[in-house]
Amino acid sequence: MKLGGVEIVDTFAEAFECWYSSFVITAASERWARIAATEATGFATSLIGCGAEAGIERVLPPESTPDSRPGCSVMVFAPKKSLPQQLLMRIGQCVLTAPTARVFSNGEGEKVDIGYRLRYFGDGYEEVRSLYGREMVAIPVMMGEFLVERELTMARGVAGGNFIIIATSQKSALEAGELAVNAVAGVEGVITPFPGGLVASGSKVGSRKYSFMKATTNERFCPTLRDRVEDSELPEGAGAVVEVVINGISVEAVRRAMHAGIEAACRAEGVLAISAGNYGGKLGKYHVHLRELF
């Protein structure tokens, strides 16, 4: 099967269930909302080595936020047991400290009292108030007050949706990857947690040589190893490969994002094929077959 002359490999992306929390960060300007959101979602590319996978879902205009200020919708994915602590640390260290920032719950699910736990920073001067139609915790800070909704939510989501772009050169791979990430950004309910939405060092579970490693390079997609690896999945002429990983509120949202991203990537010059990462069905219960998307 080909899409715009690009081969769509007959394979599937293997995704797995993961809990997530969605919340809105607002600030006095879009710049400061972005800064707070960027800090809060830092060091959160992969559960392999980070405590969470996180990203900015979309930028929100003032008319779409509870306090009528510019904002960003943020999503944080982690195991259910550790997600509350991730929220507490990321909001407490990266949003509470950001000038003019506020935090509002965004979505449905199980309640978790992040705002109420953050109140201790107020050292007894904090207050719980009804503001913007919500129960907010007001913590005195040097710029005035930090407002955070008393309870955020967390729900079951999907992590690990992906597709792999195989191109003739780094330039082509980057162009296709950027087109793909921009297209995915237009789909609600998903994030691309890796740097700029792209993964340069795709991995496999475990190691062929080092027993202590949880994950190592996916040699089947490394261009420099094409002639050294018997099970290489790269066609002749492949010079660079980049992966797009997608987390979302549901497998349907991930499928929509994969469709949009792949379609956009295939418009770039020099793209040879689109593949996907899976582990033979042993890692996750969600199998998104690429050809079925089209």
Phi-psi region of 137 (alpha: psi -120 to 50; beta: other; left: phi over 0): beta
Q: How much is the pTM?
A: 0.95
> Phi-psi bin for 49: left (phi > 0), alpha (psi -120 to 50), beta?
alpha
Q: Where would I find the H helices in the chain?
A: 30-40, 83-90, 114-118, 170-184, 251-265
DSSP state of 122: G
Q: Which domains does the chain have, with CATH numbers?
A: 2-14+157-293 (3.30.70.520), 19-155 (3.30.70.520)
Q: Per residue in 49-97, pLDDT tens?
A: 999 999 999 999 999 999 999 999 999 999 999 999 999 999 999 999 9
Enter the tokens of residue 114: 């992040």
Please say whether the beta carbons of 140 and 122 come within 8 A. Answer: yes
pLDDT digits (tens, 9 = 90+) for 200-248: 999 998 999 999 999 999 999 999 999 999 999 999 999 999 999 999 9
In angstroms, the CA 103 to CA 115 distance is 9
